[in-house]
Amino acid sequence: MQTIKWDPELINKYNINGPRYTSYPTALSLSEDFDLSVIPDAISQAQDELSLYVHIPFCHQLCYYCGCNKVVTRHQHKADIYLDALVQEMQLYAPLLDTKRIKQLHLGGGTPTFLTEVQLSRLMAMLHKYFTLNADAEISIEID
């Protein structure tokens, strides 16, 4: 039987807290004095292929381990209000991304499974309308 060899130096090197993968830039780098006028320039400097994260902040019940921004509710209509706001944001920023292609799409939350089939179909239709997804784009969804 083979013995596992642990490398204490390597373990110590990576035994630190890191940012959540859904937080870029990390929350600590955000501030109230953010200047919205820099967004177009920042987008113009982005790579040709982008990854897109869509946060669905709703949950039917609280998971006590969760540190995500969330709204615990059983009122399904709140997701429709959120999708209405999300489409406005897409209309605002999508024109700045018209030459960029989406190579990865991740739906997270909360939990995207809060959405009904109709709401999820609406979200996907919105994404396809306002963004160009690569034919081989990696599409993933958090399921709770």
pLDDT of 21 higher than 70: no
What's the chain look like in SS3? CCCCCCCHHHHHHHCCCCCCCCCCCCHHHCCCCCCHHHHHHHHHCCCCEEEEEEEECEECCCCCCCCCCCEECCCCHHHHHHHHHHHHHHHHHHHHHCCCEEEEEEEEECCHHHCCHHHHHHHHHHHHHHCEEEEEEEEEECCC
Predicted pLDDT at 47? 77
Q: What is the pTM of this model?
A: 0.76
Q: What is the pLDDT of residues 31-72, one digit of tens each?
A: 888 888 888 888 888 878 888 999 999 999 988 888 788 899
